[in-house]
Amino acid sequence: MRIEHGESEAMLAERVARSVARWHPEERLLEVSPLTGGASSLTYRVRLADSAPVVLKVAPAGLPPVRNRDVLRQARLLEALEGTAVKVPRALFADAGEPPAVPPYFAMDWVEGECVEPVLVAADERPPAADVRRRALSAAAELAVLHAVDPQTIGLSDEPVVTLEEEIDRWARAFETVPADLQGRNLAAAAALRASVPAAMAPAITHGDYRLGNTLCSEGVVTAIIDWEIWSLGDPRLDVTWLTYFTDEAAHPAASPDGPVGTPSRSDLIAAYSAAAGHALADMDWFDTLATYKEAAATALLLKRARSGGALPAPMARMAGAITLMVEDVIRRLG
């Protein structure tokens, strides 16, 4: 039998068993079973004889393990953040594999907590509104903790800094890869963004997709920040504004039609971050506009891929008509 990434269950289990033996010679592997979630890599639960279970992230086979598929780069970040105040799982062991046929993987601690993006799920899948609010405010405060870490002091000085212009270019290139009916007037929107780029802040470690759906939470508190596929060094406001994009106020294009979920307002989240960081954030309206452009491009990519799979999932179908509206909103706001 073969599992999703193309490597047989037996082959993967044998590799993991060897890694476990190197990590803890007295430990023994019992089972490797798939978990849900993860678009760029595949995630598994590893059950051990004498230790707590661990999480395994495996790159997809058949593709070079680069960019968002570079699981060892994710492991490097978790290792660098160990010993800081940032709440991340601890990286435990890794195997470089022989890509692309035999993909790399790494293992990390199993952290208890619930992972849910409240604005994107049906009412019966959401936490209570009061809990959603506590989680979001906790996420804002924890983001400030992440951004306070000096990349140079934890061995990340060799990482390139992604400028705001490069961030715009990234999503403009994404638009180039989608069908014409998903592009809208994206070139005009990108030009408007480039013409109004604000002064950059000092670069920080940025998650790249920071929202409640990429955290684990328990009792209204973030217990871990997860899914680091697109981390980089860049302007910290990119993360802040992305968090605010998943609020009731933002009216995300894929939001559930079941009504508000109880998130704080955009200004409340920015205030919570600023209080934890000890400084105010300038030019957040521009960053909110950039987030709209980013969401339009990301939505277009998702729809391009989803169309080949038949019927669109409900959140995806809700997004189908929103791309042109989001692009036009960028142009209007910066016009």
Identify the CATH number of the domain in which residue 21 sits.
3.30.200.20
At 39, the pLDDT band (50, 70, 90 cuts) reads low
Answer positive or negative: Cα dihedral of 174, 7, 231, 64.
negative
Examine the domain organization and report whether 87 and 122 are in the same domain: no
Q: Are 32 and 26 in contact (CB under 8 A)?
A: no
Examine the domain organization and report whether 234 and 319 are in the same domain: yes
Examine the domain organization and report whether 295 and 219 are in the same domain: yes
Report, as an integer, the average pLDDT of 5-25. 89
Report, as an integer, the average pLDDT of 239-267. 94
**Is 60 inside any structural domain?**
yes
Report, as an integer, the average pLDDT of 330-334. 98
Omega cis (within 30) before 99: no
**Is 1 inside any structural domain?**
no
What pLDDT shows up at residue 37? Answer: 62
Examine the domain organization and report whether 137 and 245 are in the same domain: yes
Examine the domain organization and report whether 220 and 134 are in the same domain: yes
Comparing 40 with 294, which gets the higher pLDDT? 294
> At residue 45, does pLDDT exceed 90?
yes
Token pair 């790249």 is found at 208
Is 4 strand, coil or helix?
Answer: coil
E strands, 9-143, are 29-34, 42-48, 54-58, 91-95, 105-109
At 246, the pLDDT band (50, 70, 90 cuts) reads very high
Distance CA 159, CA 152 (A): 9
Average pLDDT, the chain: 94
Domain that holds residue 148: 118-334
Q: Residue 303 maps to which CATH number? A: 3.90.1200.10
Indicate the helix (H) or strand (E) that contains 6: none
**Is 53 inside any structural domain?**
yes
Indicate the helix (H) or strand (E) that contains 222: strand 221-225
Distance CA 120, CA 126 (A): 9
Strand 221-225 vs strand 215-218: parallel, antiparallel, or unpaired?
antiparallel
Residue that is last in its domain, among 109, 129, 152: 109
At 185, the pLDDT band (50, 70, 90 cuts) reads very high
**Is 254 inside any structural domain?**
yes
Report, as an integer, the average pLDDT of 90-113. 96
**Is 4 inside any structural domain?**
no
Report, as an integer, the average pLDDT of 255-259. 89
At 102, the pLDDT band (50, 70, 90 cuts) reads very high
Examine the domain organization and report whether 139 and 31 are in the same domain: no
Number of domains making up the chain: 2
**Is 55 inside any structural domain?**
yes
Residue that is last in its domain, among 109, 140, 157: 109
> At residue 186, does pLDDT exceed 70?
yes
Q: Which of 307, 287, 297 is nearest to 253 (CA)?
A: 297
Q: What share of the chain in percent tops pLDDT 90?
A: 85
Examine the domain organization and report whether 91 and 200 are in the same domain: no
Residue that is last in its domain, among 54, 84, 109: 109
What pLDDT shows up at residue 310? Answer: 73
Examine the domain organization and report whether 124 and 67 are in the same domain: no
What pLDDT shows up at residue 122? Answer: 92
Q: Are 74 and 94 in contact (CB under 8 A)?
A: no
> At residue 36, does pLDDT exceed 90?
no
Examine the domain organization and report whether 274 and 147 are in the same domain: yes
At 38, the pLDDT band (50, 70, 90 cuts) reads low
What pLDDT shows up at residue 253? Answer: 86
Report, as an integer, the average pLDDT of 178-205. 97
Comparing 24 with 38, which gets the higher pLDDT? 24
Distance CA 57, CA 41 (A): 6
**Is 180 inside any structural domain?**
yes
Examine the domain organization and report whether 78 and 184 are in the same domain: no
pTM: predicted TM-score of the whole model, two decimal places: 0.93
C-alpha separations of 306 from 56, 316, 317, 326 in Å: 26, 8, 10, 19
Examine the domain organization and report whether 80 and 222 are in the same domain: no
Examine the domain organization and report whether 100 and 206 are in the same domain: no
What pLDDT shows up at residue 47? Answer: 98
Distance CA 70, CA 311 (A): 30
At 162, the pLDDT band (50, 70, 90 cuts) reads very high
**Is 2 inside any structural domain?**
no
